[in-house]
Amino acid sequence: MFQTITIVAPGLLGASLAIAASEKSVAKDISIWARRPEAVESLLQQPWCTRASTDLDEACRGSELIVLCAPVNRIITLAEEISKFAIGNPIVTDVGSVKADIVHRCEAALVGRAHFIGSHPMAGSEKTGMENACGDLFEQRVCFVTPSDKSNPEALAKTNAFWEAIGSLVVQETPDRHDEIVAQVSHLPHLLASSLATFLATRCPTAADYCGNGLRDTTRVASGSPELWHEIVDQNRPEVLRALRDFQDHLQSLTAAIANQSDFELLKQLADGKQFRDQL
């Protein structure tokens, strides 16, 4: 499918992607950039790594597809660095969990040098690091691909084909719609669970004595890393705020139905909620 691809930063996602690309023969050569020389040493021992370097230019040389697997706050800087040496219009994509800002800034940085197409594979694990990488991390998982109106159609088609070959289910959305969707289906539920937990911590600190599975399920994700979720909220702040505010209005309509003893409205909301949940 590709002669050479480059993976930038071999963390859990990057290394898993290299393993999957190797296992599925998505690329003949897999080049990997790592920050530390020890990581390069270690990578060169791996059967799924053709070459490795701490020099970004060298690691990207001759690549048709460069996948930026660094943390979100590093992706734009990496694209700017790549713009200094890129030749032959390679495709550059990423794995960041928010898209609008990244897509617009990476496109601007790479214009005329490379084709940027944003990606967000919904894959991960509590574990991190190359040592936990595995080739089936992306198998049957959704991967958002987020073209803009400036995207090169051929680069977009090749990016989609890459993720499909890796085993992902590609969902194509605009960067803005992507950020709205993840705010609604992921960031909002997390913040609600966390807020319910902090509410009960003050109102009913003995809740553990008489809590059932309902409360355990509803608040489960509140156990996630505060630092990680702070970072996610920070990156998608406008959409997270919009989802929170829209939800607050929606919750107010339920509260009003209960306050006004609108039995029909309350029953309808409960039935609509059940119908939606039953199909998840």
Between residue 136 and residue 195, which ones bind a copy of itself under the rule CB under 8 A?
142, 144, 171, 181, 184-186, 188-195
| Of residues 162, 58, 51, the one with CA closest to residue 115 | 162
- Kindly tell me which of 1 and 197 has the beta carbon lying closer to a copy of itself: 197
Give yes or no for residue 216 binding a copy of itself (CB under 8 A).
yes
Choose which of 28, 84, 127, 245 interacts with a copy of itself (CB under 8 A).
Answer: 245
Give yes or no for residue 254 binding a copy of itself (CB under 8 A).
yes
Choose which of 158, 214, 235, 239 interacts with a copy of itself (CB under 8 A).
Answer: 214
Give yes or no for residue 125 binding a copy of itself (CB under 8 A).
no
- The partner residues of 7 in beta bridges, in order of sequence, read 32, 67
CB of 234 to a copy of itself, least distance (A): 7
Give Cβ neighbours of residue 75 (< 8 Å, ≥ 6 apart): 68, 94, 96, 102, 106
Q: Which H or E run includes 116?
A: strand 115-116
CB of 19 to a copy of itself, least distance (A): 22
Give yes or no for residue 275 binding a copy of itself (CB under 8 A).
yes
Q: Tokens standing for 158?
A: 């090749």
CB of 40 to a copy of itself, least distance (A): 34
- Kindly tell me which of 154 and 263 has the beta carbon lying closer to a copy of itself: 263
- Kindly tell me which of 108 and 266 has the beta carbon lying closer to a copy of itself: 266
The answer to whether residues 107 and 148 touch, using CB atoms and an 8 Å cutoff, is yes
Give Cβ neighbours of residue 210 (< 8 Å, ≥ 6 apart): none
CB of 128 to a copy of itself, least distance (A): 18
Number of residues that bind a copy of itself (CB under 8 A): 80
For the chain, how many residues are written? Answer: 280
Q: What's the gap between Cα 81 and its chain centre?
A: 22
Ramachandran region of residue 156, left (φ > 0), alpha (ψ -120 to 50) or beta? alpha
- Kindly tell me which of 165 and 224 has the beta carbon lying closer to a copy of itself: 224
Instruction: Report helix, strand or coil for 82.
Output: helix
Choose which of 92, 207, 235, 239 interacts with a copy of itself (CB under 8 A).
Answer: 207
Q: State how far the Cα of 280 lies from the Cα of 191, in Å rounded to an integer.
A: 20
R_g of the chain computed on alpha carbons:
22
Instruction: Report helix, strand or coil for 25.
Output: coil
CB of 13 to a copy of itself, least distance (A): 16
Per CB under 8 A, which region of 21-29, 74-82, 147-155, 226-234 contacts a copy of itself? 226-234
Instruction: Report helix, strand or coil for 67.
Output: strand
- Kindly tell me which of 165 and 171 has the beta carbon lying closer to a copy of itself: 171
- Kindly tell me which of 28 and 250 has the beta carbon lying closer to a copy of itself: 250
Give yes or no for residue 112 binding a copy of itself (CB under 8 A).
no
